[in-house]
Amino acid sequence: MKVSVFGLGYVGTVSIACLARDGHDVVGVDINPDKAAAIARGESPIVEPGLDGLLRAGVSSGRISATTDANQAVLDTDISLVSVGTPAGPGGTPDLTGVQKVTEEIARAIALKGKEHTFVLRSTVPAGTLDRCAETLASLAPGIEVHVANNPEFLREGSSIADYDHPAFTVVGTRDQRAQEQVEELYRAIDAPVLAVEPAVAELTKVVANAWHATKITFANEIGRLAKAAGVDGRDVMDVFMRDTKLNISTTYLRPGFAYGGSCLPKDVAALIAQARATNVSVPLLASLPLSNRDVVDSATDLVLQAPGRKVAVLGLAFKANTDDLRESAAVNLVKRLLGEGCEVRIYDRDVLAARLVGANLRYIESYLPHFERLLAPSAGEALDGCDTAVVTYATPEFREALDAASPSVRVVDLCGLYREPPVGRECVGIAW
């Protein structure tokens, strides 16, 4: 198929690479010329394992190109996927400005093209958004048959290619048989059941899934802190709990540790709370998730400040390992809190390089931690040199090796279960164990 993908963030870039690998001709479209140029060179604008190789192969084969010209992209393709960002707006309601602008651009391009086209919304949006997009398309491209569908993604940063290749299912929200057929054709190489549903069901399924993931993380963290207060290792409690695969369904996210973050879970929880408020529906559990998540950061801050020294090394700044995404990262929030408490902070994260950050990711960190690049250390060893406390936000062999080589006087605050047993000869405190 000939496909255009609008929005070259995580979802868009991974989709381009995987679609090209599976035999489709793909044009990436973004208003940021630097992103488009990087894709056109076969370079990933984001950090994601395995992505660079797929992009290089796609460009070399001629299946991947990129542009800032929406008109040309639509003229050259039969189906357009929209994967632009929908950041949280005032009160938690998603900001759909990007979706609206791209829909209008595609509609005008379809009018110029003068023949049928398929519009697939991949962005995470509130229920009813696709119907509003369809109204825009019909208004700006009158008399032209435009097939529309919602196709939510369930990709996790750091493992998105594996998630793309092995989904639990493919959701297609549409009332249009042609749109459904084309989306199924897009993923013909993927072995997963296709669930054809109403557009609003597909749209809501995505945010509900992320709210459930956030709920599981919050539940595990609360149990972990409760267990610790009772003198019990929270990991042992949850290990027993997770043996029940009949009722508890999945072990994913059910491990005590640090707060959830990233571009999806905080935003989608806020979206559901906003939706409930707007419809006068009481959702006390969902409403409590951000409060409990902030409590995890409070607990981590207290653990650091329990010791007298104020020189702190933070290992891991992104919201999870194997990504450079800093948006809503609990580690960023923790660093800001520690700086406010007068701590001298050094940060190491091999995937977070100031020179590579772009777009919303760069804007977020610049607004939240101005001059953050001054806090970055070029290696874990240099971040640890001379520090009183080391905070570990995710477990990697690199961090374990660096701490093993660090001075025995360095106290460790383990927020991720790096150590199953306390290291010999070193003070180490865990957040839930």
What is the SS3 assignment for 360-411?
HHHHHHHHHCCCHHHHECCCHHHHHCCCCEEEECCCCHHHHHHHHHCCCCCE
* Cβ–Cβ < 8 Å for 40, 62: no
Catalytic residue among 264, 387, 416, 428: 264
Largest CA distance in the chain: 75
Check residue 58 and give its pLDDT: 98
* Residue 18 bears catalytic tag: no
| Edge-to-edge strand list for the sheet holding 389-392 | 344-348, 311-315, 389-392, 411-414, 428-430
- For 408-429, how does the pLDDT look when each residue is reduced to its tens digit (9 = 90+)? 999 999 999 999 888 999 999 9
> At 162, is the pLDDT very low, low, confident or very high (cuts 50, 70, 90)?
very high
SS3 249: coil
CA distances in angstroms from 212 to 85, 201, 219, 254, listed in the order given: 21, 16, 10, 11
What value does the mean pLDDT of the chain take? 93
* Cβ–Cβ < 8 Å for 59, 36: no
Find the DSSP H helices in 230-264.
Answer: 234-241
Residues 363-370, mean pLDDT to the nearest whole number: 89
Check residue 420 and give its pLDDT: 87
In order of their start, the domains of the chain are 2-197 (3.40.50.720), 259-430 (3.40.50.720)
Check residue 223 and give its pLDDT: 85
Residues contacting residue 231 through CB under 8 Å, at least 6 positions apart: none
Residues 122-147, mean pLDDT to the nearest whole number: 97
- Cα 100 to chain centroid, rounded: 22
What is the b/e burial string over 222-236, where b = at least 16 CB atoms within 10 angstroms of the residue's CB? bbbbebbeeeebbbe
Check residue 381 and give its pLDDT: 96
Tokens, residue 94: 């998603």
Beta bridge partners of 34: none
Residues contacting residue 8 through CB under 8 Å, at least 6 positions apart: 16, 28, 29, 30, 32, 35, 36, 39, 45, 66
Check residue 221 and give its pLDDT: 85
Check residue 242 and give its pLDDT: 86
**pLDDT of 182 higher than 70:** yes
pTM of the model: 0.82
- For 260-302, how does the pLDDT look when each residue is reduced to its tens digit (9 = 90+)? 998 888 998 898 788 888 888 888 888 999 999 999 999 999 9
- What DSSP state is assigned to residue 351? T
Rounded to whole angstroms, how far apart are CA atoms 413 and 345? 14
Strands 146-150 and 117-121: parallel
Place of tokens 């992103």: 35
SS3 414: strand
Rounded to whole angstroms, how far apart are CA atoms 419 and 404? 11
Q: How many CB atoms lie within 10 A of CB 101?
A: 14
Check residue 249 and give its pLDDT: 58
Residues 223-251, mean pLDDT to the nearest whole number: 83
